[in-house]
């Protein structure tokens, strides 16, 4: 797959199946407020198995410490990658975003846990009342490390300006490890791009030629973004990192029900859930089992 970071509109990823990523935990929610959130390794492994069963092909992982607080402890991350690999065939993607309080050093060191993939956010963004920092030199260093260590990045785009930064990154450093550009539009974050169909179409049109993409809508934008992504030929990300309300007044009981709903909608759209094996081929992720 050739990477062209021109400004030509991206061809929608015309796939006959839909890759579903589950983001089960995140770094923002408190276990005490959301008891269904998987925070221990055991809870995470159970969640991963249930979500695989429901149709997920990839898991986007944030981990917690013994007090259920977000951590980037390398030992725990390594143990988590190994446990998820033993228990499932899911593509294991570690977050390099961490929590807004994590240092750049710790975020770079995440790659030493040897995941299949990692998130790589293409710019700073207001993040509710906080700021999620991703300055250009950090992006470059992280990208160079993914190439060096053989980790497939997923470019997280919270805003249209992040798409421009992605073009700049690819122009400067070339194709990612695996040779294929895959992006994730994170929509509806207070401070980022809106979570609606019009914005999604605009963002997709600006992506690098030949890239594939998924989309996730935060909070109440989850469902409209899912429909828009399916209609526009994209992949889906769902999970309690992004939404804890299944429908008005009804909290999410477990991550797998969000994956089940996504898989059902994907089937209705005539693009049923993709296997992890097919997703590896699409993304250029080697099988490390
Ligand atoms: N927790 C957010 C500050 C990522 O995983 O790369 C960052 C985030 C993005 O969740
Ligand atoms: Zn994340």
> CA–CA separation, 224 vs 121, rounded Å?
23
Residue nearest to atom 10 of ligand 1 (CA): 97
Ligand nearest, relative to CA of residue 132: 1
Residue in 23, 121, 153, 159 to alter for ligand 1 test, most ligand atoms within 8 A of Cβ: 121
* Neighbour tally for 253: CB within 10 Å: 10
153 lines ligand 1 (CB under 6 A): no
Banded pLDDT at 6 (limits 50, 70, 90): very low
User: pLDDT at position 288, please?
Assistant: 86
User: pLDDT at position 103, please?
Assistant: 98
Ligand 1 midpoint to CA 270 (Å): 31
Residue nearest to atom 4 of ligand 1 (CA): 97
Range scoring the smallest mean pLDDT among 1-5, 122-126, 127-131, 219-223: 1-5
Torsion, Cα of 194, 235, 178, 64 (10° steps): 70
Q: How far is CA 57 from the centre of its chain?
A: 12
Ligand 2 midpoint to CA 27 (Å): 7
Above pLDDT 90, what percent of the chain?
A: 94
Ligand 1 midpoint to CA 121 (Å): 8
**What's the whole-model pTM score?**
0.95
Ligand 2 midpoint to CA 278 (Å): 23
């Amino acid at each position: 797959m050739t990477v062209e970071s021109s400004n030509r509109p991206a061809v929608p990823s015309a796939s006959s199946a839909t890759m579903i990523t589950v983001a089960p935990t995140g770094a923002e929610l408190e276990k005490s407020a959301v008891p269904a959130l998987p925070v221990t390794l055991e809870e995470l492994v159970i969640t991963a198995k249930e979500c695989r069963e429901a149709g997920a092909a990839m898991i986007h992982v944030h981990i917690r410490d013994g007090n259920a607080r977000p951590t980037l402890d390398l030992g725990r991350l390594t143990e988590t990658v190994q446990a998820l690999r033993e228990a499932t065939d899911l593509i294991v993607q570690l977050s390099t975003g961490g929590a807004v309080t994590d240092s750049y050093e710790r975020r770079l060191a995440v790659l030493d846990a040897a995941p299949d993939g990692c998130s790589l956010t293409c710019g700073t963004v207001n993040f509710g009342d906080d700021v999620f920092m991703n300055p250009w030199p950090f992006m470059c260093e992280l990208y160079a490390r993914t190439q060096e260590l053989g980790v497939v990045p997923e470019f997280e785009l919270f805003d249209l300006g992040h798409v421009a930064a992605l073009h700049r990154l690819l122009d400067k450093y070339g194709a990612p490890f695996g040779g294929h550009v895959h992006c994730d539009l994170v929509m509806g974050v207070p401070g980022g791009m809106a979570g609606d169909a019009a914005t999604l179409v605009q963002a997709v049109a600006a992506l690098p030629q030949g890239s594939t993409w998924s989309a996730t809508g935060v909070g109440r934008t989850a469902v409209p973004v899912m429909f828009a992504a399916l209609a526009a030929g994209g992949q889906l990300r769902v999970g309690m990192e992004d939404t804890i309300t299944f429908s008005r007044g009804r909290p999410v009981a477990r991550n797998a029900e969000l994956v089940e709903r996504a898989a059902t909608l994907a089937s209705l759209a005539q693009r049923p859930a993709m296997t992890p094996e097919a997703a590896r081929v699409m993304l250029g992720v080697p099988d490390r089992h």
